[in-house]
């Protein structure tokens, strides 16, 4: 997903991407947990010998990046929080309503594809609802196709439901002294208001909402996304980790 962004940043930054445990080209080998995902992230940082890095996370990756920064603020020089869902769970019900409405015209086709075991096509039809105008982007996300690790998804999100509590997280965020850029798209089906409490809790935060973008703003408004990111970082001598 981050290939085009890495290309756009290549003249300015050193971008390090990796496939998380259980995803992409990485092994499907659990058990899966937030702590293990954060340890994998730290292993990537350590492998490249970096004392500190800018950390960019998208969606679940934004949650992971925030958790890592809270646990290891001395290892993160700046945090870029892209299309996350904030500190609590107020986002879920409006998100589910919005996605149901967006998928309604295509639900019969999705059900037909699912009945025939066409997982990739089902994913494309569903993911296309994440964009303002998204079929091409959804097809791009599914190419090459590695499948969806449902076990990983269930285990990680079950853990977050038990542990990701807004009041406790807000208190932690108030002590986070690194700079944070929150950037997302106004047309994301996840309500952007869900991120407001995170913005209020952070001592050093910049907030950018791109009006024409959905859940993957670097694909839908690439020039604006890159401009805001580089303006925030303010240097060409940085290394950036991405997790999605």
Domain containing residue 196: CATH number: 3.40.50.1820
How does pLDDT run across 66-103, given as a tens digit for each residue?
Answer: 999 999 999 999 999 999 999 999 999 999 999 999 99
Structural domain of 84: 3-243
CA dihedral sign of residues 195, 54, 231, 177:
positive
pLDDT band, very low/low/confident/very high, at 36 (cuts 50, 70, 90): very high
Q: Which of 229, 190, 201 is nearest to 84 (CA)?
A: 190
The predicted model gives 122-129 an average pLDDT of 94
Round to the nearest angstrom and report the end-to-end CA distance of the chain.
Answer: 8
- Distance of alpha carbon 7 from alpha carbon 4, whole angstroms: 5
138 close to 130: Cβ distance less than 8 angstroms: yes
How does pLDDT run across 136-183, given as a tens digit for each residue?
Answer: 889 988 999 999 999 999 999 999 999 999 999 999 999 999 999 999
How does pLDDT run across 185-228, given as a tens digit for each residue?
Answer: 999 999 999 999 999 999 999 999 999 999 999 999 999 999 99
- Number of structural domains found in the chain: 1
| Predicted pLDDT at 108 | 96
| Predicted pLDDT at 146 | 94
pLDDT band, very low/low/confident/very high, at 236 (cuts 50, 70, 90): very low
């Amino acid at each position: 997903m981050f290939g085009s962004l890495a290309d756009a940043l290549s003249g300015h930054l050193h971008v390090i991407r990796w496939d998380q445990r259980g995803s992409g080209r990485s092994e499907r080998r659990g058990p899966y947990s937030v702590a293990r995902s954060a340890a994998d992230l730290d292993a990537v940082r350590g492998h490249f010998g970096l004392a500190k890095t800018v950390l960019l996370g998208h969606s679940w990756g934004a949650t992971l990046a925030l958790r890592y920064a809270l646990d290891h603020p001395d290892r993160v020089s700046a945090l870029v929080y892209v299309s996350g869902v904030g500190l609590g769970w107020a986002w879920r019900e409006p998100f589910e309503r919005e996605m149901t409405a967006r998928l309604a015209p295509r639900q019969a086709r999705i059900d037909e594809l699912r009945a025939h075991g066409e997982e990739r096509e089902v994913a494309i039809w569903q993911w296309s609802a994440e964009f303002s105008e998204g079929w091409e982007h959804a097809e791009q996300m599914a190419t090459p196709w590695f499948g969806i690790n449902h076990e990983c998804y269930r285990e990680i999100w079950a853990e977050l439901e038990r542990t990701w509590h807004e009041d406790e997280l807000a208190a932690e965020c108030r002590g986070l002294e690194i700079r944070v850029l929150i950037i997302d798209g106004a047309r994301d089906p996840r309500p952007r208001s869900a991120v407001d409490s995170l913005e209020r809790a952070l001592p050093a935060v910049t907030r950018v909402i791109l009006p024409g973008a959905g859940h993957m703003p670097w694909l839908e408004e690439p020039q604006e996304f890159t401009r805001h990111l580089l303006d925030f970082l303010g240097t060409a001598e940085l290394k950036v980790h991405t997790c999605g």
